[in-house]
Amino acid sequence: MRTRFTSLILAGFFLLALSSTAFSKEAGVVVKELAKTEKSWDGALLPAYPDGQPEIRILSIKIPAGQKLAVHKHPVINAGVLLSGQLRVHTEDGQVLDLHAGEAIVEVVNTWHWGESVGDSPAHIIVFYAGTADTPVTVIQD
């Protein structure tokens, strides 16, 4: 099952890459790759995709200015793009990432962390989660 899931994901990314190349040849179309990596923002290698029924979840998350999120972790690979505002992400071991509007993030997996909206306006991020149907995308620390 893992091989099938991985094959589907790779095929999807391959088709996306081909379509991006094709679109970039049309007049007026601009394609900008925001992220391509095998590592999360802290430098750790991304884990293998899990066995099980694949599930893609896309969330729009708006964090009010000055708001700090609870400490949490993601058991699945996820990546996002900050649409507006500024976001600072902290890991428990002291690593910090500052994100500005238009920047992409490949999130840490199974690492306790938290984010905070540090600008004068809300931070709005779209996050794509690639997991399985029976796995939560976020776990809050007790």
Give the CATH number for residue 104.
2.60.120.10
- Indicate the SS3 state at residue 40: coil
Identify the pLDDT of residue 49.
Answer: 92
Identify the pLDDT of residue 66.
Answer: 98
**11 and 59 co-located in one domain:** no
**27 and 49 co-located in one domain:** no
CB atoms within 10 A of CB 69: 18
Question: Which residue range is the domain that position 108 belongs to?
Answer: 34-140
DSSP-derived pairing of the beta strands 54-63 and 123-132: antiparallel
**73 and 110 co-located in one domain:** yes
Backbone φ, ψ for residue 13 (5° rounding):
-65, -40
In this prediction, residue 17 has a pLDDT band, given cuts at 50, 70 and 90, of low
**70 and 125 co-located in one domain:** yes
CA dist., res. 100 & res. 69, Å (int): 17
HSE-CB of 27 using CA atoms within 13 angstroms: 0
**125 and 68 co-located in one domain:** yes
- Beta partners for residue 60, in sequence order: 126
* 89, 109 contact by CB (below 8 A): no
Structural domains in the chain (count): 2
**40 and 73 co-located in one domain:** yes
Strand order across the 54-63 sheet? 54-63, 123-132, 77-84, 104-106
pTM of the model: 0.80
**106 and 95 co-located in one domain:** yes
**94 and 58 co-located in one domain:** yes
59-105 confidence digits (pLDDT tens): 999 999 999 999 999 999 999 999 999 999 999 999 999 999 999 99
**39 and 23 co-located in one domain:** no
**75 and 122 co-located in one domain:** yes
**70 and 111 co-located in one domain:** yes
Question: Among residues 1, 5, 3, 142, which one has the least CA distance to residue 73?
Answer: 142
Higher per-residue pLDDT: 48 or 7: 48
